[in-house]
Amino acid sequence: MHTFMHPSRIVREMCSRRTGIQLAIAIGCLIAMSGLAQTVRAQSHAIELAVDSASRHHLTIQQDGDALVLESTGNDPYIVFDIPATPVVDRHWMLAMEVFCPEGIQNMQLFIGQPFSEKRRLDLPHLHRSEGWTVYSCDLSEGESFLNDDGPTTLRLDFGRKEDVRFRIRKVTLRPENDREWKQRQQRAAHVQQLQQLNERIANYYHTDFPIRLTEVRHSPEHVVVSGKAVGEVATANLSLIARDLDEISALPATIDSKTPFRSVRLRSDGTFEVKFPAAPGSWLKRTGMRWQVVSISSALLDDGSRTCTPYSAVRYVDVLDQRDAKTLPPTPTLHAAKGVTCVSELNSEMIRELGLQHATVNILLNGFIELHPKPGYVPVTIRGKQVFVRQGAEQHLDKRVRMGREAGLVLAGILLIGNQPNRSARDSQRPTLQHPNADPAGVYTMPNLTDPDSANLYAITLDYLAERYSEGDLRIDHWIVHNEIDAGWQWTNMGETPHHVYLDHYFRSMRMVDTATRRINPHARTFISLTHYWNLPNPAHWRWYRSKEIMESLVKHGEVEGDFPWGMAHHPYPESLWESDTWNDNVKFDLDAKMFTLKNWSVLDEYMKSDRLRDAEGNVRPVLLSEQGFHAPEDDEQSLQQQVAAVLYTFQQLRQFDSVLAFDYHRSVDHSGEGGLLLGLRGLSSKEHPRGKPKPAWNAFRAIGTPQESELLLQYKDVWGSPSE
C-alpha cells in the first residue's frame, strides 16, 4: 500500500523526479543526435517482386511500365518475396514502396521468415486512401530477430481481408530509416516514457491510503451534497472540496483557477463532514461524469494565475441521482439464460417471434450523432436544458431497429461504438470529436476522446441524448454495453499503444459516464463491460492487448476507491477455435488461471461472479450477458452443419446451470461475407432467392430451445458431447 505523503514532501519528490526525467531525456537526445550525424553506410536495395502464381494468393498481378497492378480475388490476399541481407546498422531497416490505392487497405500484415507463423507477424500501418502516388513504409525492427544479416529473408506481405480491391505499387525498396523517420521514432520514445510514468502514477493512486474518504455524493433538486470522513491523520485544516472535470485524470493533482468553484471542508469532532454545492437543475456541476475530491489548495500562484492542489482523498462519482430526473418505469423483465441475437436488424418481426427471442443487441455508432452547432441534415433537440443538433438519418435508423425489437417484446442492449476515421479533414480535426486522438488506424473502433474538455463534453451530451430518447416504451434500451471487447483494445477499442492503467483510466471514466447518463433517466438501466473469451492470455501484444483477468480486478479496485456502481459483464465465450463448433472438446482449464473461458469451463466465471468481492454494494450477484458468440458452419459442409446444431443445444444445457447469465445473444442470424471467412449464421449468406439467407439446421434447433421440441433434439445429439458436466 502507498501511504499518504505530506504536501511538502510530494512537491520535493515531484521536483526531484522531474529534474531527473528531464536530464535523462536530454542525455538521450544528445546521444541520439550524435548518431544522427553519423553516415549510414548501409545501402538501399531495390526489391523485385515475383509475379508467378506460386508467390501469391488471392491476387492477380499485372505489369504496367514500372508499376505492378494488383487486384485481390479473395479475403486473404498476399505476396511472398525475398529481401537481401540486413546487416546491423545504426538505423532501423525499413520496407518501403510507392502506392496508388484509391480505396485504402486496412489490416496490413507482414510475416518475416519461414515458416510463416503468428509469432513472426507484424501488424502494419493501414495503407491510407491515395489517389496519387504516395510512399508507404514499415519498420522491420520488431521482427529483427527473424531477419538475416548474411543472406536473404523471405517475407509475406498481406494486403488486408477484402476482395475486389485494385491498387498499384512500385519502387519497392529495403533501406535504413531516413532522418524524418528517425526523429519520429525518438519522439515516440519520449512519448512512451511519459506513458510509463503516467501508468505508474495511476497504479500508485489506487493503492494510496488517503486521510479523507468520501462516502457519498448525492444530487438533490438544488444541490450537490458530498459527505465524507477522516480515516487517517490530517496534517492541515486548509481543506477544500472541488469538482474534477470530465477530461481530468483522477490520479493527477488538480489545478484550479479563479473560475473553479470550491467549498471549504470543516471536519466535525467525529471526523465526518458534509458539503453542499448550490446546483440547480441543468447546473454544470451535475454534468454526466463529474467527480469530487478533497484537496489542499496551494497559496502560490503559477505563471498562468492558477494554483496547484494536493489531494487528500480519492475522487468519487455521484452515488444518488436526483429522483426528479428519473422516469417512472416498470422494472426490466427478469431473464435467465434467455435466447437472444446480435445484429437484430438482420431479422424481421416474424422471425424474432418464430425464434422465441427475449433479448437482442443493437450497435450504436456514436460518431456525428450529435453536433453542438447547426449543420445540414441535423435537427435541433434540447438536452438537459441546452439546444444541440441530432443527425436525423442516424436517429431514424436507430429508432427503426429499436422499435422493431421492442414491439416483438425484446429486452434490448445497445453497444456503444466510436468508428475509427483516420482520414478526417483538417477542418474536422479542429472540432470536438468523439474519436480518440491517439487511435491507430489499425483499430476498427476507438476509445472515446476524454482528453480535452470540449470533446469530453460532446461525449457526455451524446450519452445524455441516448439515455433520454431510448428510455421507455417502444424505444427503451435497458442494457448499455460500453464499447467492444476492450481487452482486444488494439482492434476493437483503440487509443494507440497504451499501458494497462492509462487505458483503463480512460475506459472507467467512459463507463461511469454511461452509468450516470442512463440511470439518471432509467433507474433500471445497467452498464456492461465487454470482454473476449481470452482471460489470462499469455504474452499479450505489448500495450495492445490486455488480460481480462487483470481488467476485472482493476474494475473492482476502481469501485472500491472511487465508489461502487451497478455494472455487469458482457462476455463473448467463443470456442477455443473459431473455426470449430465442438466447444465441448476445448482444451481449457477449470480455474481462474485459465487462458480462456468458453462454454465448457464457464462455470468457473459463474462462481467468480458470485464471490463476495465481485458482488455489488447490496450484495447482489452482478448480471452477465453472453452478448456475442456463434458457431462456424459452411452451408455445403454437412458435418459442420450438424455440429452447429449440437453446439446450439449444448449451449443452453450449459447456460441453465449459470445463475449469473441473463441472456445468450447468438452471433449472428445470417452469414456475413465480411467476417474473415467465418460463417457463424443460423442462416446462410443472403441471396436473391433468400434475402435473409437460407435456414441452416441450427435455425430450427435455436427455435426449438425452450419448447418441447428441444427434448426431442437432445435425444438425437446429446451423445455428441456427453453430459454437461464432462
Mean pLDDT for each 10-residue chunk of the chain (726 residues)? 42 35 36 40 79 87 90 94 91 92 88 91 84 85 89 94 91 90 86 95 97 97 96 89 95 90 93 94 91 94 88 97 94 97 93 96 96 95 94 96 96 97 63 92 91 96 97 97 95 94 98 98 98 91 92 98 97 94 96 96 97 94 97 95 97 95 96 86 93 95 96 92 58
Tell me: do 258 and 389 sit in the same domain.
no
The pLDDT score that the predictor gives to residue 133 is 84
- Per the structure, how many domains does the chain have? 4
Q: What pLDDT score does 23 carry?
A: 33
Tracing cell 447547426 back to the chain, one arrives at 374
Whether residues 22 and 86 fall in one domain: no
* Residue 514 and residue 456 share a domain: yes
Report yes or no on 726 lying in a domain: no
Q: Give the three cell numbers for residue 456.
A: 469530453
The strand pairing partners of 105, in sequence order, are 127
CA contacts within 13 A on the Cβ side of 457:
15
Q: What is the DSSP string of 362-398?
A: EEEE-TTSEESS--TTEEEEEETTEEEEEEHHHHHHH
How many helical (H) and strand (E) elements, i.e. helices and strands, does the chain have?
Answer: 12, 33
Query: Each residue of 97-125: pLDDT tens digit?
Result: 999 888 889 889 999 999 999 889 999 88
Distance CA(533)–CA(68), nearest Å, equals 41
Residue 13 half-sphere exposure, CB side, CA atoms within 13 Å?
A: 8
Residue with cell 445429439: 717
At 260 the pLDDT is 85
Q: What is the CATH number of the domain that holds 84?
A: 2.60.120.260
Residues 585 and 437 in one domain: yes
**358/406 Cα distance (integer angstroms):** 10
Q: Is residue 25 part of a domain?
A: yes
From 162, 177, 192, the end of a domain falls on 177
Domain with 182 in it: 1-38+178-209
Contacts of 275 (CB under 8 A, 6+ apart): 225, 226, 227, 241, 263, 264, 265
Regarding pTM above 0.85, the answer is: no
Nearest to 100 by CA among 73, 136, 124, 74: 136
Q: Of the candidates 479, 468, 581, which has an alpha carbon nearest to the alpha carbon of residue 520?
A: 468
d(CA 471, CA 518): 8
Cα separation of 318 and 384, whole Å? 17
Question: How far, in Å, CA of 663 to CA of 332, rounded?
Answer: 13
Do 406 and 502 lie in one domain? The reply is: yes
Residues 464 and 605 in one domain: yes
Termini Cα distance of the chain = 42
Shared domain check, 383 and 304: no
662 and 533 together in one domain: yes
Of 268, 295, 323, which marks where a domain is finished? 323
- Tens of pLDDT, residues 306-347: 899 999 999 999 999 999 999 999 999 999 999 999 999 999
Burial class (CB in 10 A: 0-12, 13-18, 19+), 365: middle
pLDDT of residue 51: 72
User: Which residues in 700-724 are b (16+ Cβ under 10 Å) and which e?
Assistant: bbbbbbeeeebeebbeebeebbeeb
Domain end among 297, 323, 349: 323
The H-assigned helical ranges of 451-493 are 453-469, 489-492
306 located within any domain: yes
Q: Are residues 273 and 294 in the same domain?
A: yes
Return the C-alpha torsion angle 568, 573, 578, 584, nearest 10.
-170
Residue found under cell 538501399: 44
The residue among 192, 286, 270 whose CA lies nearest residue 229 is 270
Given this model, what pLDDT does residue 519 score?
A: 97
